[in-house]
Every structure is written in structure tokens, then in C-alpha cells.
Homo-oligomer: A and B are copies of this chain.
């Protein structure tokens, strides 16, 4: 057995969205100990500049490495898009993002190669999905759409009803005239809106569309790599799940529990992160 196998797996996100990924990891790897770090004091990353996102992600990853993790999952599309290579360079453990696994799945599953990707403005601007898909399938046609209002709607629990449908209609309307057959939910918040997205997409496009989200694709990729490196935990007991948050505002536990699919109460701890890249200014 690899002596590192008993260590926990670190999961990092800017806030609560990564809890949909954490949930998929719990299902795929029930015996692993998982340590989640949500940078809730600086959420959201999606509208910030590239340098700031990289700095925040490195701060957070160093915090998790201090907890002796054996692998890191960057459960945040924005951080994956802007900081994955920097994190892989800086850390000596395997680092997984949420873009490549689902891009691989989409490239394989799309019949016609027309793939839509919906995400935050920063994720779309980064071109990370387009790059990943074109590498995997050079004949692909990628249709990226920024949907900035979906994150606040999901966080507020407005996951169905006329408001979210009207917002989705506004965002998805441009797809009506495309032959898209596959759509990537390129933001960890969007699985909560899955049914509304599926229903409005069907209405707008009037033909079948497969929706793929990154959570289960990432969990599968992690499981395969842990096996290949003999890094699977030897334990056969249920793994422990802890949640570190840089801010614990009122109401957080309810929102987090909704994203995780079960209660996170009693398992949340507040931590500070040193913003070690900030420099004094005159």
C-alpha cells in the first residue's frame, strides 16, 4: 500500500458550489476522508480578474496542503480555468480540475460535435472548455454562453418557476438556430437548476439534448487516478467529511446543506486564510 493512501482528499471551491462536486465524490468514493475548503470570505471568483483568482486559489490550496491531503480537487470552474496549471506547478500532489473530465465525456458523447457550454462570465471568457474540447475533438463546434444570473438564483433557492425560466429563456434563446446536441453545465451551481435548464432547453431547441455536469465526471476521473497510483484508502468504513469555511455567515449551513444534499451542520469550521500575495500600497 502506498503510505500516503490513508490521507484525506482536499476539495477546494470559492464557496458552496463545489459541494455538488463533493456530493459526487462521496458517492463515488464512500470510504475516502474528504476535507472541503470553501473560500466564502472572498466568494464569488467568477467576476474577478485572472491574477486575483490565481492568488486566491494558491492561498487556499496551501491551506489544504497544510492538512496533509493526498490529492486536490479544484471543484470550481473559475479556479480551474485560471489557476489549474499554477496549482499543478506549485503542489507535489495530483491536482484535478472540473473542466477536462466533463469535456472528455462531451467530446465522446456528442453525435454531431456541436456542444453548448453554459457558465459564469469568467469561465466563458477563459475559453477553457473550448480549448479542452478542440484538443479532444478538432471537428467540434463549441457554443459558450455566459449566464451570470444563474449563480445568485441557485444560491437563493430559486431553482424553478417563472423567474428562472424567463432568465434561462433569455440565455438559451441563441441556441435555437444551432444544431447543438450536448450541453455542458460548466458551473458547479447549475446541477441545482438541472430540471429547469433541461425543460427550457427542450422548449427553445425543440429536439433532444444531453446535459452533462462536471461533478460525476470529475469523481470518476479521481477514482481512476487514485487506483492507478495505489492511493485508494485501505479503510472500509464510511469516510469522514469536514468543511472548512473562510467565512460562516448566518444562513450558510442551510444553503450548504442544500448543495451537499445532506446536512453539513456540526461539521463546519471557520478558518482564516493568509492573503500572502497581497503587497503593501502607498
Residues of A within 8 A of B (CB): 40-42, 47-49, 52, 63, 66, 121-122, 125, 148-149, 151-153, 156, 158, 162-163, 166-167, 170, 247-251, 271-275, 278-282
Residues of chain B contacted by A63 (CB below 8 angstroms): 281
Q: Contacts A162-B166, A166-B163 hold; do A281 and B271 have CB atoms under 8 A apart?
A: yes
For A47, the closest partner residue in chain B by CB is B249
Residues of B within 8 A of A121 (CB): 251
Contacts of A280 in B (CB 8 A): 272, 274
Which residues of B have CB within 8 Å of A158? 149
- With beta carbons under 8 angstroms apart, the residue of B52, B156, B275 that contacts A148 is B156
Known: A47-B249, A52-B249, A274-B281. 17 other contacts (CB 8 A): A41-B52, A48-B247, A49-B247, A49-B249, A49-B250, A66-B282, A121-B251, A122-B249, A125-B250, A148-B152, A148-B156, A149-B156, A152-B152, A162-B166, A271-B281, A272-B279, A274-B279
Give the distance in Å from the alpha carbon of A166 to the alpha carbon of B163 in the complex. 7
Instruction: Select A149's contact among B47, B152, B162, B273, beta carbons within 8 Å.
Output: B152
Could you show 20 A-B contacts with beta carbons less than 8 Å apart? A40-B48, A47-B249, A49-B248, A125-B250, A149-B152, A149-B153, A149-B158, A151-B152, A162-B166, A163-B166, A163-B167, A166-B166, A272-B278, A272-B280, A272-B281, A273-B278, A274-B275, A274-B278, A274-B280, A275-B278
**Cα-based distance from A49 to B272 in the complex (angstroms):** 13
Contact residues in B for A125 (Cβ distance below 8 Å): 250
- Taking a contact as CB atoms closer than 8 A, the residue among B41, B162, B170, B274 that contacts A48 in the complex is B41
**Looking across the interface, which residue of chain B has its beta carbon closest to that of A169?**
B163
A41 to B49, CA, bound (A): 8
List residues of chain B with CB within 8 A of the CB of A42: 41-42
Of chain B, the residue at the smallest CB distance from A41 is B52
Residues in chain B near residue A152, CB distance under 8 A: 148-149, 151-152
A256 to B158, CA, bound (A): 27
A271 neighbours in B (Cβ, 8 Å): 281
Inter-chain CA distance A175–B47, complex, in Å, is: 34
* CB < 8 Å neighbour of A273 from B41, B66, B170, B281: B281
Q: Which residues on B sit within 8 Å (CB–CB) of A163?
A: 163, 166-167, 170
Within 8 Å CB of A250, what residues of B?
49, 125
Residue of A170, A250, A251, A271 ringed by the most chain B CB atoms within 10 A = A250
